[in-house]
């Protein structure tokens, strides 16, 4: 079951509910794309990794081998930690997911998993109504990784934070930015739909 954050109130019209369901489906598609691209990135990275710089760690518990890279003293690899966060999200265990992603953000510099972790931390904070934390995570993503494929959706999510705070002018400005800057991205269509509903 995929993690979604759409909340439906009883006083919403059928059109609003339909719109929210469409948005939820589009976000789930974006989530699945994230998983596929993350796995592809990992496979490519492992294929190109210089194995001479890897340290083989033999586990006494399961007699399996895992590659540990120089300079990493943690018991879990970046991929294992990220997957732990994703698994927790899928089980709706937000505290455990937040802990895993925070650990990754605070200890690693992976150019794919770090921005993805910032994105999910922003999502988790938005669900928890921690708007300033959410905005900070999304802003960190777009400022540190402006060319990452998650940046357009992170910009749109900043608009969602403003909207949730009742800052309608700021939200409109951010949604217009997304629509104009990333016209081919799914985030732009989501932003345009919200703009239409705000009129």
Mean pLDDT (whole number) for 28-48: 61
Burial grade of 126 (CB within 10 A; 0-12, 13-18, 19 or more): buried
Assigned superfamily of 23-198: Tetratricopeptide repeat domain (1.25.40.10)
Greater confidence, 140 or 38?
140
- pLDDT averaged over the chain? 79
Task: Please give the Cα distance from 123 to 134 (Å, whole number).
Answer: 7
pLDDT of residue 23: 72
**SS3 at position 67:** strand
pLDDT for residue 97 is more than 90:
yes
Q: Delimit the domains of the chain by residue range.
A: 23-198
Enter the pTM of the model: 0.64
100-133 tens-digit pLDDT: 999 999 988 888 999 999 999 999 999 999 999 9
Task: Please give the Cα distance from 65 to 57 (Å, whole number).
Answer: 6
**Alpha-helix runs per DSSP H in 49-150:** 78-90, 94-107, 113-127, 131-144
């Amino acid at each position: 079951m995929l993690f979604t954050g759409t909340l439906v109130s009883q006083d919403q019209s059928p059109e609003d509910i339909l719109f929210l369901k469409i948005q939820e489906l589009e976000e789930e598609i974006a989530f699945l794309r994230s998983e596929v691209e993350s796995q592809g990135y990992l496979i490519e990275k492992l294929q190109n990794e210089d194995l001479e710089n890897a340290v083989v760690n033999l586990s006494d518990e399961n007699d399996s081998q895992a590659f540990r890279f120089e300079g990493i003293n943690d018991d879990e690899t970046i991929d294992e930690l990220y997957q732990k966060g994703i698994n927790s999200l899928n089980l709706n265990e937000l505290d455990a997911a937040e802990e895993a992603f925070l650990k990754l953000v605070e200890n690693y510099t992976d150019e794919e998993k770090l921005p993805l972790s910032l994105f999910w931390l922003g999502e988790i904070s938005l669900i928890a109504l921690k708007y300033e934390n959410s905005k900070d995570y999304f802003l960190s993503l777009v400022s540190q990784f402006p060319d990452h494929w998650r940046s357009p959706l992170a910009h749109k999510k900043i608009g969602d934070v403003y909207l949730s705070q009742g800052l309608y002018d700021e939200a409109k400005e951010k949604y217009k930015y997304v629509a104009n800057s990333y016209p081919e991205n799914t985030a732009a269509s989501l932003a345009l739909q919200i703009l239409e509903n705000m009129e």
